[in-house]
Amino acid sequence: MIIVSTLRKMHENTIGYQYEDFIRYVHKLNVDNLIVTYTSREDFEKDKDQHKEITMLQESFNVYFPEINYEKYMKLSRGKLFEIHNAEEITKKNIMDIIETVVNSYLKGYWKDPETVNSEVTDSIFRVNNKFIQAVNPDYIEKYWLPLHTDIYNYIEEHKNMYDAVISDVESTFFYKDQKN
């Protein structure tokens, strides 16, 4: 199965992988049926402006969404996993924000075309970033991020004959590729 990274809103500011470049890249893959991993159909339908790339994909492809309980994970993301109670947690959050800024700044300079966005370099950076987050905030990864992505991956595997390609947010593509291998 082909896994393609989307930058979502960052397509607007990424020369060489803007929305139109992303759509052309998916067209070149000669696929028809896509599954989008990073939002539910319900959330997409509620706020299509936040998902311009999905709207554009729907013009040329059959677009599907995993039928999992996203709301369960959204409740977790709004819950105690993200609360800050003391100076140590503030420091950890600040460090995570700094790392995220550095990673995004570097990648904005590195990304020049669909191939660089969908490269092992990009996947490696997000793989390491994920390990860093796990070291600083293990509950986030172990109770939210990993179960969510595992549920999505399992859904895709159970229905893999229905889809030609997976459309993933760039931060998560490495996970699906690693699971596939």
Give the tens place of pLDDT for each residue, 129-164.
999 999 988 988 999 999 999 999 999 999 999 999
Domain ranges of the chain: 2-180
CA distances from 81 to 28, 76, 90, 129, 137 (A): 40, 7, 13, 18, 8
pTM for the structure as a whole? 0.91
Taking the CA of residue 55 as centre, how many other CA atoms within 13 Å lie in the half-sphere pointing to its CB? 13
d(CA 90, CA 137): 11
- What is the torsion angle, in degrees rounded to the nearest 10, for the CA atoms of residue 6, residue 8, residue 10 and residue 12? 100
- Per DSSP, the three-state class of 127 is helix
pLDDT averaged over every residue in the chain: 93
**Banded model confidence at residue 88, pLDDT cuts 50, 70, 90:** confident
Whether 77 has a pLDDT exceeding 80, the answer reads: no
Whether 168 has a pLDDT exceeding 70, the answer reads: yes
